[in-house]
Structure formats: structure tokens, C-alpha cells
Chain A
Amino acid sequence: KAGVTQTPRYLIKTRGQQVTLSCSPISGHRSVSWYQQTPGQGLQFLFEYFSETQRNKGNFPGRFSGRQFSNSRSEMNVSTLELGDSALYLCASSSEGLAGEKDEQYFGPGTRLTVT
């Protein structure tokens, strides 16, 4: 089974620009979650999509948005970039157990975003 893939792996943008990151989950996984990881804040949850619907959302401003397509691929968008948005953005996919609880998450390699 192919793992979670994320594109691009590295990105450099300037303040005020917008960026779109892409994530392809493991085949059969319908849940896709996005995280921001920085040295100071650790792994922070952005949002989760399940069957094209946003199911959970973290505590991030509206500049951060996402969507999921019918094939479970997901994109996240950050508008009006700020210097503080420089981070590793990780995508994770998971299947779900019978009771709806999530099995382990499989993470992609991440997209390293640098905002200058």
C-alpha cells in the first residue's frame, strides 16, 4: 500500500501571498487531518475532513482553510501569509473502527513552508 503523500515538500512564499498544499491519503482511508508543527508549539491540529466534510476544527484563524475531494484527497489553503505561518505542515490519514473511533494515523512527510 502506498503511504500518505504530500506535495510540494518545500515551499518558500512571501508575506501576504497565499499557498495551497496537497495531501493524498492511503487508499481506503476517508479521514484526513492536517497539523501545523513548529519548534515552539509542537504539533497543533488544524482540521479534519471525513467524506468531504469538515468534521473537526482546531483553533486557527479563518486564513487557514481546507477541503476534501470525493477521492479523499485533501488540500489546505493559507491566505495572506504571515511570518509566523512558517512551519512543517503535516497531513495524516486514518481508517475508523466499528465504533467510529480512529485507528492510528499515518502521517505524510510534510510540507516545509517558509514565509519571508
Chain B
Amino acid sequence: SQKIEQNSEALNIQEGKTATLTCNYTNYSPAYLQWYRQDPGRGPVFLLLIRENEKEKRKERLKVTFDTTLKQSLFHITASQPADSATYLCANNNDMRFGAGTRLTVKP
């Protein structure tokens, strides 16, 4: 069956380091992937969209890559801060699939 999977349930890193989150998809080829941030008790907030013909997209301290060979998207937060602590979700909007999310904790 078609799936979007975020294999890490949780990721803990030290402030200032780069956080790297992984999103894998199986049994289909999404035209694009999106990344969202969700804080407890709130709805997800859109961060970045990357299309299959784009290798990389950046926005401030955020960077997303899309590797159609590996069927994977990586989401990086550089110079991480405690305020970056949240759950990050990847999604393909066209078929409404969301990954389970990775809960990132940045420790001071």
C-alpha cells in the first residue's frame, strides 16, 4: 500500500546543532512533498514545499531535499534553537497523506 513514513518518532539534539529529519515514501511517486510544524494542542503550520524536479529548497535556517531515487525527503534545521522544539510532519497534499511526525527536542 502507498505510505509516507517518518521513521524517527523522536529526535533530541543540542542547541546550535543541525537537526535532520527523514521522510520516506513507498509504492508511489508523489509530485511534491510538504513539511509542517505542529506545536502541542495546535494545528500544523506549513513550512516548505518541494517538487520532485527540485533537488533542494531553502528558507532561512530550513532546508529540504527530495531524492526520487531513494524515495526520500530530508528536512534540516541548522543552528537549532530550543524554540524549534515541535513535531514535524511531512505530507503529500494531493492524496492527503501525512507521516506520523517526528518530535524534535532541542536542548539548551
Contact = CB atoms under 8 A, between A and B. Distances in A.
Contact of A106 (B42, B46, B96): B46
A42 B96 contact: no
Given A42-B100, A43-B89, A105 B46 contact: yes
Contacts, number: 50
Interface stretch (A13-21, A64-72, A73-81, A107-115): A107-115
Interface residues on A, range: 20 to 34
Contacts of B89: 43
B11 interface: no
A26 interface: no
Secondary structure type dominating chain B contacts: mixed
Contact of B96 (A48, A101, A107, A109): A48
Contacts of A56: 95-96
Interface residues of B, number: 20
A32 interface: no
Contact of B46 (A58, A104, A112): A104
Contact of B45 (A88, A101, A103, A107): A107
A42 B100 CA distance: 5
A108 B43 contact: yes
Interface of B: 31-32, 34, 41-46, 49, 89, 93-101
Interface of A: 4, 33, 35, 42-43, 45, 48, 56, 58, 88, 90, 92, 94, 101-110, 112
Given A45-B98, A103-B93, 5 more contacts: A42-B98, A42-B99, A42-B100, A56-B95, A88-B41
